[in-house]
């Protein structure tokens, strides 16, 4: 009886804690959080005296509580500004494009205030006389797979730590040949293995499918080749994994799981860790879960990865339904 009472008290405490941490949305339409914009990509290159085009835009994520029309603008800084308008139907997290207008007047960093109604946030845009520290590569692969390729990342979850990934050999999984990537994480420290292959323009990762969501954990574990990236994907292009179905760790519960991938930005420029990467592709992965026979619904989690042609993964972040957590950024690499 005492244990049961203690357990009930713990559950009550947990529910109160979760409720108090949950972000509330009481708005009539789209809203930004005050402060700096999160999960924003600055697309295109910004140079002094160069008229901005459709390739120059901000990709901003908003929480939509009610569908309808929207009009979002920024102030004018250094001779240019951003604006976007249109209509949205679905509620929840939605990504909108704000097109740049004007011509940068001078080099430097500009802080733009993005406004909708009474809400606002800020984002920094850098204008250069010429592009600095541009990474040059003759390799066109978005995720180069070759023996002894190596990437080093800053571990943004645990600053000052690092993650080193090295391709070491091949193995056969699901009747297909995969490259074996050794992952060394200095925080633990620990070594893990992950498995990748390419087929045509598609890149696959062989993994436990429930790894990428906190909504469920299959037991026994379900493994599959997940198509996480497409070469030359277009803005807005969407693809799906198969719908997985199995028993969860709760033993009595059967759940469906699917991942939705979407190309958010294609062939843009991004500056990571002081280096300018061209031909960058931003890919989102969103898990969807449901009871067997029910329609799949998004969990609210968002995994966002940035891939540079000839380099591979250069930046990754994760939105856990409450806030965005930067996970890693490229430090150095050696690609064959």
Question: What pLDDT is stored for residue 61 in this prediction?
Answer: 77
Q: Residue 8: enclosing H or E segment and its boundaries?
A: helix 2-21
Name all contacts of 221-226 with Cβ < 8 Å and 24+ positions apart.
Answer: 222/246, 223/173, 223/174, 224/174, 225/173, 225/174, 225/176, 225/197, 226/259
What's the rounded mean pLDDT across residues 223-243? Answer: 96
Question: What pLDDT is stored for residue 168 in this prediction?
Answer: 95
Q: How confident is the model at residue 37 (pLDDT cuts 50, 70, 90)?
A: low
Q: Would you kindly state where each structural domain of the chain is located, as residue ranges?
A: 41-127, 150-334
Convert the pLDDT of each residue in 111-123 to its tens digit. 999 887 777 888 8
List, in order, residues 6 or more apart from 87 with CB less than 8 Å away. Answer: 67, 68, 69, 70
Question: What pLDDT is stored for residue 202 in this prediction?
Answer: 98
User: In whole angstroms, what is the distance from residue 77 CA to residue 46 CA?
Assistant: 13
Q: Which residue has the higher pLDDT, 137 or 177?
A: 177
Question: What pLDDT is stored for residue 36 in this prediction?
Answer: 61
Question: What pLDDT is stored for residue 93 in this prediction?
Answer: 74
User: In whole angstroms, what is the distance from residue 233 CA to residue 55 CA?
Assistant: 16
User: In whole angstroms, what is the distance from residue 301 CA to residue 289 CA?
Assistant: 11
What's the rounded mean pLDDT across residues 243-265? Answer: 91
Pick the CATH number of 150-334 from 3.40.1350, 2.40.360, 3.30.70, 1.10.3470: 2.40.360
Interior/surface letters 269-301, b for 16+ CB within 10 angstroms, e for the rest:
bbbbeebbbbbbbbbbbbbbbbeeeeebebbeb
Q: Which of 61-70, 71-80, 143-152, 235-244 has the lowest mean pLDDT?
A: 61-70
Which of 134, 151, 135 lies closest to 143 in space, CA to CA? 151
Give the number of residues written for the chain: 336
Are 63 and 25 a contacting pair, CB within 8 Å? yes
Question: What pLDDT is stored for residue 122 in this prediction?
Answer: 87
Question: What pLDDT is stored for residue 43 in this prediction?
Answer: 86
Convert the pLDDT of each residue in 58-117 to its tens digit. 988 777 777 788 888 999 999 999 999 888 777 777 788 899 999 898 888 899 998 877
Convert the pLDDT of each residue in 268-305 to its tens digit. 888 898 888 989 999 999 999 999 999 999 999 999 99
Q: Which residues are bridge partners to 123 per DSSP?
A: 112
List, in order, residues 6 or more apart from 293 with CB less than 8 Å away. Answer: none
- pLDDT over 70 percentage in the chain: 87
Convert the pLDDT of each residue in 153-204 to its tens digit. 999 988 889 999 999 999 999 999 999 999 998 877 778 899 999 999 999 9
Q: Do domains 41-127 and 150-334 have the same CATH topology?
A: no
Q: Which residues are bridge partners to 194 per DSSP?
A: 181
SS3 250: coil
What kind of fold does domain 41-127 have according to CATH?
Immunoglobulin-like (2.60.40)
Q: Look over the chain and give the mean of its residue pLDDT values, rounded to a whole number.
A: 85
Question: What pLDDT is stored for residue 34 in this prediction?
Answer: 45
Are 261 and 238 a contacting pair, CB within 8 Å? yes
């Amino acid at each position: 009886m005492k244990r049961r009472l203690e357990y009930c008290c713990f559950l009550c405490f947990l529910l109160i804690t979760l409720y108090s941490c949950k972000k509330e949305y009481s708005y009539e339409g789209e809203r930004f959080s005050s402060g700096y914009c999160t999960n924003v990509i600055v697309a295109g290159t910004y140079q002094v005296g160069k008229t901005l085009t459709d390739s120059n835009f901000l990709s901003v994520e908003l929480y939509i509580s009610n569908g309808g029309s929207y009009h979002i603008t920024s102030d004018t800084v250094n001779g240019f500004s951003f604006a976007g308008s249109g209509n949205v139907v679905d509620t929840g997290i939605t990504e909108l494009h704000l097109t740049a207008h004007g011509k940068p007047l001078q080099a430097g960093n500009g802080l733009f205030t993005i406004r909708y109604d009474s809400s606002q946030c800020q984002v920094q845009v850098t204008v250069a006389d010429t592009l600095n520290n541009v990474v040059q590569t003759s390799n066109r692969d978005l995720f180069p797979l070759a023996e002894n390729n190596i990437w080093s990342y800053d571990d943004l979850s645990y600053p000052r730590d690092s993650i080193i990934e090295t391709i070491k050999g091949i193995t056969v999984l699901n009747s297909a040949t995969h490259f074996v990537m050794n992952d060394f994480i200095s925080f633990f420290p620990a070594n893990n293995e992950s498995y990748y292959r390419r087929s045509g323009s598609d890149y696959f990762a062989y993994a436990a499918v429930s790894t990428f969501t906190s909504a469920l954990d299959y037991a026994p574990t379900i493994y599959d080749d997940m198509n996480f990236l497409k070469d030359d994907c277009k803005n807005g292009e969407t693809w799906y994994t198969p719908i997985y179905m199995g028993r969860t760790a709760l033993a009595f519960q059967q759940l469906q799981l699917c991942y939705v991938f979407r190309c958010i930005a294609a062939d843009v420029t991004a500056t990571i860790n002081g280096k300018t990467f061209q031909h960058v592709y931003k890919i989102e992965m969103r898990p969807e879960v449901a009871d067997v026979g029910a329609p799949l619904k998004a969990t609210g989690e968002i995994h966002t990865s940035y891939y540079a042609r000839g380099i591979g993964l250069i930046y990754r972040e994760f939105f856990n339904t409450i806030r965005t957590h930067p996970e890693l950024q490229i430090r150095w690499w050696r690609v064959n």
